[in-house]
A and B are shown apart, each in its own frame.
Chain A
Amino acid sequence: MKDLLRKIRKTGRVAEDPPERPAGDVPDALGELGGSVQLRHVDAGSCNGCEVEIASAFGPVYDAERYGARLVASPRHADALLVTGPVTRNMEVALRRTYEAVPAPKVVVALGDCARDCGVFAGAYGVAGAVRDVVPVDVEVPGCPPEPEAIVAALRGLTGR
C-alpha cells in the first residue's frame, strides 16, 4: 500500500490537457442530453483493433470520461451504441435488438473503417454489411483503427463538452 501511495504521488496527473473542442454541432437527438452520454459498446465482428483504441481512449491519458462519456453494462442504461467491426451474420440480429433495447433518444457511432464500409472484410461470406445497413448511424469515425484522439473527438461531439 505504501508503494502504491508513493507511485500515485510520483506519477501525479497522467491525463493530457484537453485539446480544443472540435468544431461541429451536437446531433439533434442528443441536444437534450446535456453533457452526459453513456455508451454501450457492441463488437459486431471486429478484429479487436478498435477495442484496444477504445480502451486507451478511456484510459488515464486521454480520459474520455472527463467529457461526460462513460461505458455502461447494459443498453438500457445507454444513450449511444459504439459499434465496431463489420456486422457479421451472427451479430446482425443481436445488433438490431441492442439498438431496440436503448431508450430514446439514442444515437449510433460506427467506429472504424470496418464499421463504416466493412473495410478489408467487404464481401466476405460471413459479413452481413456495414453498420448503417443494419441500424441507422449518426456518427462515423474513420480509421483502421481510429486513433484515440479521433475517438475522443467524436465523443466530445456527442457530449458537447
Chain B
Amino acid sequence: MSGSMSVAGTVEAAAQVVLVAAGSPLLVGVMRQVKARLEGRAGAGVLQPWRDLRKLLRKEAITPDGTGPVFRAAPLVLTATALVAAGIVPIATTASPLDGAADLFAVTALLALGTVALALAALDTATAFGGMGASREMTVLALVEPTILMSVFALSVPAGSTNLGAIVNSTLHEPQRVASPVSLLAAVALAVVVIAEAGRIPVDNPATHLELTMIHEAMVLEYAGPDLALVEWASAMRLTVLLGLVANLFAPWGIASADTAAAALAALPLALAVFAVKVAVLGGALAAGEVFMAKLRMFRVPELLAGSFVMALLAVAASFFLA
C-alpha cells in the first residue's frame, strides 16, 4: 500500500467513525419513528435521541455509594470499543488502516469487551437488578458467540481470510456469491445474533420499564447524566456498526474501494451516503418487524440462538460441499 493510499485510508476511516458517531442516534430516531408511525402515533422526530443525549451531557453525573473505578470506567470502555469497531468495520472503505489490525473475530471480541465492562459495572453496584442484568447479558453473550464465529467461518471460506476488507472485496469481485445458499444461511444466522447483540426484540426490549423483564437496561439503572449519555450513545453505535456489518458483508455495493487515493477520496461522500441509506433501511425493517413481535421469555432465547447456530453450521458445511 502506497503512502498516499494509507493517508486516504486514514481519512476514510476517520470519516466513517464520524459518520457512525453522529449518525447512530439518528438511526435510533428513525427506528423509533418507524415504530411510532406503525403504532398510529406521531412520534418524537428523528432528532429526539440527539436531544436526549445533549440534555444528558448537560446534567450532573452520579457516583453511587460503594461503587468504584470499574463503575466509572465502564461507559468509557463501552464507548471506546464501539468507536474503535466503527473505525475497523468496512463502512465506507475497505482500506482502513485498522483493517489489518483486527478481523471479524477481533471486532466481535472488541464489542464483547464493551459488554463485559458494562456487566462488571452492573455487578459493582451490588444491586439485585444490576446482578440480574449482568447475569442475563453474559448468558446471551455466551450463546451468541458460537453463531457469530460460525457465520464468520462461512463467510471467510470464499474470501480465504477473516479480515473484513478482504471479505467485502471478494464479494465485490464476485457478486453472484451473495445469492448462494452459504451466504443466505449465514445472513439469516448473523441477523439473529445481531438482534441479540444489539438487545432488540425478541431477545430484549430496549423500551421496557419493568426491571424483571430487562436484560441490557437492568445493567444501566444506576447511570445518570453524562455516564448515561455515553452508554446510550455507545448502544446506538453498536447497533449501527452491527447493522452496517450485515449490510456490507452481504451487499457491499457503494463502498469506496478504488485503486488510487484520489479516486477513493472522491468516492467517499457517495459511499457514506449509500451506507447511511442501507443502515436506515435495515434499521427501519428491524423496527417494523418489532411491531409484529413480542419479547421472548428469557429461557426461550437459547432456542432461538440454537436455531441460528444450526443455520450457521449448515452455512459452513455448504461452503465446503458446494465449493
Query: So, do A and B actually touch in the complex, CB under 8 Å?
Result: yes
**Interface, chain A (partner B; CB < 8 A):** 1, 4-5, 8, 11-15, 18, 32-36, 38, 60, 63, 65-68, 70-74, 76-77, 79, 101, 103-105
Given the known A-B contacts A15-B42, A103-B225, are A79 and B59 also in contact in the complex, defined by CB atoms under 8 Å?
yes
Main secondary structure of the interface of A (DSSP, over half): loop
Q: Per-position contact with A for B45-77: 1 when CB-CB < 8 Å, else 0?
A: 100100110110011111000000000000000
Q: Per-position contact with A for B32-43: 1 when CB-CB < 8 Å, else 0?
A: 000011111111
Query: Closest 4 interchain pairs by CB?
Result: A14-B40, A76-B224, A103-B224, A15-B42
Q: Per-position contact with A for B215-254: 1 when CB-CB < 8 Å, else 0?
A: 0010001111100100000000000000000000000000
- A120 to chain B: closest CB distance in Å? 29
A105 vs B209: C-alpha distance when bound (angstroms): 22
- The answer to whether A65 touches B51 (Cβ under 8 A) is no
Given the known A-B contacts A4-B292, A36-B52, are A76 and B62 also in contact in the complex, defined by CB atoms under 8 Å?
yes
Interface size class of B (residues with CB under 8 A): 20 to 34
Q: Per-position contact with A for B200-222: 1 when CB-CB < 8 Å, else 0?
A: 00000000111100100100011
- The answer to whether A73 touches B55 (Cβ under 8 A) is no
A35 vs B55: C-alpha distance when bound (angstroms): 8
- The answer to whether B62 touches A32 (Cβ under 8 A) is no
Instruction: Given contact pairs A15-B42, A71-B209, enumerate 10 new A-B contacts (beta carbons under 8 Å).
Output: A32-B55, A33-B58, A34-B55, A35-B51, A63-B42, A66-B43, A68-B44, A76-B62, A76-B223, A79-B55
Closest B residue, CB atoms, query A15? B42
- The answer to whether B55 touches A13 (Cβ under 8 A) is no
- Which of B36, B54, B210 sits near A36, CB closer than 8 Å? B54
Given the known A-B contacts A103-B59, A103-B61, are A13 and B42 also in contact in the complex, defined by CB atoms under 8 Å?
yes
- A106 to chain B: closest CB distance in Å? 9
A33 vs B57: C-alpha distance when bound (angstroms): 10
**Interface, chain B (partner A; CB < 8 A):** 36-45, 48, 51-52, 54-55, 58-62, 208-211, 214, 217, 221-225, 228, 291-292
A25 vs B5: C-alpha distance when bound (angstroms): 55
- The answer to whether A66 touches B42 (Cβ under 8 A) is yes
Given the known A-B contacts A4-B292, A76-B62, A79-B59, are A12 and B221 also in contact in the complex, defined by CB atoms under 8 Å?
no
Given the known A-B contacts A36-B48, A103-B60, are A63 and B221 also in contact in the complex, defined by CB atoms under 8 Å?
no
Which residues from B are CB-within-8-Å of A36? 48, 51-52, 54-55
A152 vs B58: C-alpha distance when bound (angstroms): 25
A5 vs B61: C-alpha distance when bound (angstroms): 43
Which residues from A are CB-within-8-Å of B222? 74, 76
- Which of B44, B55, B59, B210 sits near A67, CB closer than 8 Å? B44
Given the known A-B contacts A8-B38, A76-B221, A77-B228, are A65 and B44 also in contact in the complex, defined by CB atoms under 8 Å?
yes
- The answer to whether B42 touches A74 (Cβ under 8 A) is no
- The answer to whether A104 touches B38 (Cβ under 8 A) is no
Closest A residue, CB atoms, query B217? A73
- Which of A14, A15, A18, A38 sits near B52, CB closer than 8 Å? A38
- Which of A1, A38, A60 sits near B41, CB closer than 8 Å? A60
A12 vs B37: C-alpha distance when bound (angstroms): 8
- The answer to whether B60 touches A33 (Cβ under 8 A) is no
A73 vs B206: C-alpha distance when bound (angstroms): 11
- The answer to whether A74 touches B221 (Cβ under 8 A) is yes
A14 vs B41: C-alpha distance when bound (angstroms): 6
A32 vs B55: C-alpha distance when bound (angstroms): 7
- B132 to chain A: closest CB distance in Å? 13
Which residues from A are CB-within-8-Å of B217? 73
Which residues from A are CB-within-8-Å of B39? 60
- The answer to whether B41 touches A63 (Cβ under 8 A) is yes
- The answer to whether A103 touches B62 (Cβ under 8 A) is yes
